């Protein structure tokens, strides 16, 4: 409602600089950009939408009724904001966590706060019981493989960033199986914790042996290591009812503002709508979704449509293997997606703007073309200065749009401070009150202005995509 009032006021102002339906002049790029930024900074809409999504729908694991409710919610919101909306169905496996329980048996008896890893196999109903062996790397596992047979392996490596830590969650269970272990525990993938386990995907492949696998808290991982290093045997029981069903359907939600001059050139704003089953995913990736939804709504409210099509895509099934992003890229392979931005780094303050330009032939970064793209954007960068962005660096965008970026879309990354993100990532603690509404509004302002510039700037964004000869304008 607040957005509608702001829109009415803006329409009155905009009548002086533009007539509805008439293409904007290049000056309008600037006046509309500052108006979009002001309205985004003043809007509480993304915050209220985030609370609504997290509190009323909650965890929305892909393939579940809750995910379907979230998709219906998002489609309705985008329709209300004047976008043309449709959904695209992707068939996915449905992983069911089932009942699970983890117990420390020796040197004393207590429950372990732990969570099965996504796609893990389950245990027999009575569970598996074994002594724990602790390793800090795959090399250590290989060196000590004779000790591991019949044991539960705990992967306990110090945090050196997400990319390094996640390798144990992803490949640890099958490495443990190869070494003859009966189960795998992984130190939760986070630099900081208050006894919260962090789940996440583990790799599973038909025909590749694996073992039941779960994430333990960083505190329990440290305690088990201390005990084992002191020569005190640690015995653990894992009971997991995990199973894999499917395929089931999940919907990627798409809304767009059709471009007025080059409708076939698409500027894509992405996020993933699904979460893990253990928490409402306020930062992963509820925040990203409400920001891109608001950015598209604000652009849709302008008295003129942008030159290019602006499309918001809320991907399904990111958490269980980028299945929504992959299906989307395959279904839209022939389209000219000229730029693709995805917000999926939490809700911390914006720290920069990065562009990822690749050679479609090899999928490798193309520094020459990156420079060319930066040069074309340079005249519009002053629009972002009031929001704290003064340069474009080389940087990433997001997981789902990676397929499009490899195929030639310019990847656009809104860099964010992740200090508050990893401690809640993939855990029950990823809840809305850790999100600052003012920071969310600022991120929305940056995203909206970046989207507007890309959708409106004259000339090609990158020469190999959407250049003048292929334009239908």
Number of residues that bind Zn ion (CB under 5 A): 3
Do the Cβ atoms of 183 and 130 come closer than 8 Å? yes
d(CA 410, CA 429): 34
The DSSP call for residue 370 is H
- Sites for Zn ion among residues 265-324 (CB under 5 A): 284-285
| Least gap, CB of 202 to Zn ion (angstroms) | 16
Query: Catalytic residue at 319?
Result: no
Please choose, out of 193-201, 242-250, 337-345, 460-468, the segment that lies near Zn ion by the rule CB under 5 A. 337-345
Nearer to Zn ion, 212 or 398 (CB): 398
Nearer to Zn ion, 275 or 301 (CB): 275
The torsion angles phi and psi of 215, rounded to 5 degrees, stand at: -95, 130
| Least gap, CB of 344 to Zn ion (angstroms) | 4
d(CA 66, CA 79): 20
- Sites for Zn ion among residues 166-195 (CB under 5 A): none
- Which is the catalytic residue, given 100, 174, 318, 456? 318
CA distances from 222 to 183, 187, 219, 329, 462 (A): 18, 8, 5, 42, 49
| Least gap, CB of 285 to Zn ion (angstroms) | 4
Q: Does 400 bind Zn ion (CB under 5 A)?
A: no
Please choose, out of 31-39, 244-252, 338-346, 360-368, the segment that lies near Zn ion by the rule CB under 5 A. 338-346
Apex 323 CA angle, 102 and 89, nearest 5: 115
Burial class (CB in 10 A: 0-12, 13-18, 19+), 64: middle
- The 67-86 site mask, x for binding Zn ion (CB under 5 A), equals --------------------
Do the Cβ atoms of 114 and 123 come closer than 8 Å? no
Nearer to Zn ion, 165 or 236 (CB): 165
Q: Does 45 bind Zn ion (CB under 5 A)?
A: no
Nearer to Zn ion, 285 or 456 (CB): 285
Q: Concatenated DSSP letters for 86-127?
A: EEEEEEEEEEE--SEEEEEEESS-EE--EEEPBT-----TT-
d(CA 247, CA 154): 32
Nearer to Zn ion, 100 or 285 (CB): 285
Q: Does 344 bind Zn ion (CB under 5 A)?
A: yes
The catalytic residue positions are 318
Residues near Zn ion, by CB under 5 A:
284-285, 344
């Amino acid at each position: 409602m607040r957005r509608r009032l702001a829109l009415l006021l803006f329409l009155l102002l905009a009548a002086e600089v533009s007539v509805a339906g008439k293409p904007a002049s290049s000056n309008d790029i600037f006046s509309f950009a500052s108006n979009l930024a002001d309205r985004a900074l003043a809007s509480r809409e993304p915050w209220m939408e985030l609370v609504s999504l997290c509190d009323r729908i909650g965890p929305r694991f892909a393939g579940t009724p809750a995910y379907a409710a979230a998709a219906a919610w998002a489609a309705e919101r985008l329709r209300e904001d004047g976008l043309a909306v449709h959904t695209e169905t992707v068939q996915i496996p449905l992983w069911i966590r089932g009942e699970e329980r983890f117990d420390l048996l020796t040197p004393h008896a207590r429950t372990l706060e732990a969570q099965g890893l996504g796609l893990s196999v389950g245990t027999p109903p009575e569970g598996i019981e074994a002594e724990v062996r602790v390793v800090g790397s795959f090399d250590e596992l290989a060196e000590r493989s004779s000790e591991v047979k019949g044991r539960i392996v705990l992967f306990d490596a110090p945090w050196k960033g997400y990319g390094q830590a996640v390798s144990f969650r992803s490949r640890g269970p099958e490495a443990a199986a190869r070494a003859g272990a009966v189960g795998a525990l992984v130190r939760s993938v986070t630099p900081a914790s208050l006894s919260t386990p962090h789940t996440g995907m583990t790799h599973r492949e038909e025909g590749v042996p694996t073992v039941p696998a779960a994430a333990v808290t960083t505190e329990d991982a440290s305690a088990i290591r201390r005990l084992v290093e002191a020569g005190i045997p640690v015995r653990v029981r894992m009971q997991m009812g995990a199973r894999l069903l499917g395929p089931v359907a999940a919907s990627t939600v798409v809304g767009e503002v059709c471009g007025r001059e080059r409708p076939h050139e698409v500027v894509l704003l992405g996020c993933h709508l699904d979460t893990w089953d253990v928490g409402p995913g306020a930062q992963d990736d509820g925040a990203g979704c409400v920001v891109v939804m608001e950015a598209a709504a604000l652009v849709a409210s302008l008295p003129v449509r942008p030159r290019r099509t602006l499309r918001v895509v809320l991907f399904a099934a990111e958490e269980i293997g980028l299945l929504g992003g992959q299906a989307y890229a395959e279904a839209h392979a022939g389209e000219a997606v000229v730029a693709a931005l995805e917000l999926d780094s939490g809700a911390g303050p914006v720290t920069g703007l990065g562009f990822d330009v690749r050679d479609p032939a090899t999928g490798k970064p193309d520094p020459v073309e990156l420079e060319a793209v930066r040069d074309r954007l340079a005249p519009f960068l002053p629009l972002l200065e009031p929001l704290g962005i003064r340069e474009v660096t080389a940087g990433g965008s997001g997981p789902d749009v990676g397929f499009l970026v490899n195929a030639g879309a310019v990847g656009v990354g809104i860099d964010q401070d992740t200090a508050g993100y990893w401690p809640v990532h993939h855990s029950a603690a990823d809840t809305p009150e850790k999100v600052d509404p003012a920071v969310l509004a600022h991120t929305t302002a940056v995203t909206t202005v970046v989207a507007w510039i890309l959708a409106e700037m004259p000339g090609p964004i990158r020469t190999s995509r959407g250049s003048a000869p292929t334009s239908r304008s």
